[in-house]
């Protein structure tokens, strides 16, 4: 069937948005003349592809919504309902698969609604779950199964990223201000789950080894990681070759920073998928999450260090016996870093 007006719902998080980019590219390839609209939280809109891949963006302001009382929330949904109805979509694709996205799909006014294979929180009652041959594979392939269902070939993984020229200039200015010389490694120490984080002590030990090897390190991440960045800097001895830009870049500037780095290092966190999409050499540490399902995808030079803990891959956000990430030592990561660094 040919669709002319498509709504794609994928509101968050950063990593999930980036994982959806190959699907968006495949969707555009399949429907070159359709109008495609993306419904997203404003803070992640900077990585929704520009035209011609995505024609229009609609925002659902989660921050504003969460501060509302019940009556205001109902009024907000009514406002969204009027907006979505006015667009007259002939296909809605719920790639979030959660209660909130299901509500938005349900009030869209479109009767043709589909989603990917993991429709949770009742969303499968609103949109048809599309389960293809990759239902047990990486999330990008699970998303692409929906594109294949719609008739797309989806043979290649393509990340339609925005133009980062402006952000590259601003990042270079920040680095020059901090007197960066030569190549640099980007380290992002934060993560959305506490159980996914590598310790400040481990990061500091690793950074001291990298600097001793002759390369500068740039810490990066969001404002929530500020305290951890300061602790890492203190533990590392405040070397001149360590630049702390945590909380000092926009998301696009962070992507530009990663684009210019020699090697990227982090645990399982959103910016990791910038590095993968940009096909940068990268090292990722995984403990409670499963790299084969949500790990870096698309880079030819990605190394995932899996925790040796028997409970690794448990998917727990909280743990009474949390040691999986500590089981990955700085020496283990440094050995991979040295191998990559010497090869580049």
309-328: pLDDT as tens digits: 888 999 888 988 888 999 99
CATH architecture group of domain 165-343: 3-Layer(aba) Sandwich (3.40)
285-302: pLDDT as tens digits: 999 999 988 899 878 899
141 has a pLDDT exceeding 90: yes
Across the range 154-182, mean pLDDT stands at 92
For the chain, the domains span 5-149, 165-343
Across the range 145-173, mean pLDDT stands at 93
Across the range 12-18, mean pLDDT stands at 90
Give the CATH number of domain 5-149; options: 3.20.20.120, 3.40.50.300, 3.50.50.100, 3.40.50.2000: 3.40.50.2000
What is the pLDDT at residue 104?
96
Average pLDDT of the chain, as a whole number: 94
67-99: pLDDT as tens digits: 999 999 999 999 999 999 999 999 999 999 999
Instruction: Give the whole-number percent of the chain exceeding pLDDT 70.
Output: 100
Nearest to 41 by CA among 20, 70, 69, 72: 20
The whole-angstrom separation of Cα 2 and Cα 194 is 45
Q: Does 155 or 42 have the greater pLDDT score?
A: 42
What is the pLDDT at residue 162?
86
Please write down the long-range contacts of 101-104, taking CB distance under 8 Å and 24 or more positions apart: 101/9, 101/10, 101/11, 102/126, 102/127, 103/77, 104/9, 104/39, 104/60, 104/80
């Amino acid at each position: 069937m040919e669709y002319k007006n498509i709504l794609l719902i994928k509101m968050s998080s950063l990593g999930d948005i980036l994982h959806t980019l190959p699907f968006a590219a495949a969707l555009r390839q399949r429907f070159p003349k359709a109008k495609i609209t993306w419904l997203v939280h404003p803070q992640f809109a900077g990585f929704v592809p520009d035209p011609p891949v995505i024609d229009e963006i609609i925002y659902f302001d989660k921050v504003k919504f969460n501060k509302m009382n019940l009556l205001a929330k109902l009024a907000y949904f009514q406002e969204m309902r009027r907006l979505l109805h006015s667009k007259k979509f002939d296909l809605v694709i719920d790639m979030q698969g959660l209660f909130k996205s299901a509500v938005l799909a349900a009030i869209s006014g479109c009767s043709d609604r589909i989603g990917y294979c993991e429709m949770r929180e009742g969303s499968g009652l609103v949109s048809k779950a599309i389960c293809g041959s990759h239902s047990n594979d990486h999330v990008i392939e699970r998303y692409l199964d929906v594109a294949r269902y719609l008739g797309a070939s989806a043979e290649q993984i393509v990340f339609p990223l925005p133009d980062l020229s402006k952000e590259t200039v601003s990042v270079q200015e920040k680095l020059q201000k901090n007197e960066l010389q030569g190549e640099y490694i980007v380290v992002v120490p934060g993560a959305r789950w506490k159980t996914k984080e590598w310790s400040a002590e481990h990061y500091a030990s690793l950074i001291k080894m990298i600097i001793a090897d002759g390369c500068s390190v740039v810490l990066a991440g969001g404002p929530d990681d500020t305290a951890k960045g300061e602790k890492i800097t203190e533990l590392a001895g405040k070397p001149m070759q360590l630049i702390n830009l945590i909380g000092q870049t926009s998301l696009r500037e962070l992507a530009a920073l990663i684009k210019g780095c020699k090697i990227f290092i982090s645990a399982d966190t959103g910016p990791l998928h910038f590095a993968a999409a940009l096909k940068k050499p990268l090292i990722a540490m995984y403990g409670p999450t499963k790299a084969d399902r949500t790990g870096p995808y698309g880079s030819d030079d990605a190394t995932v260090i899996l925790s040796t803990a028997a409970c690794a891959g448990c998917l727990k956000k909280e743990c009474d016996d949390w040691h999986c990430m500590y089981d990955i030592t700085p020496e283990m990561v440094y050995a991979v870093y040295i191998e990559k660094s010497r090869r580049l």
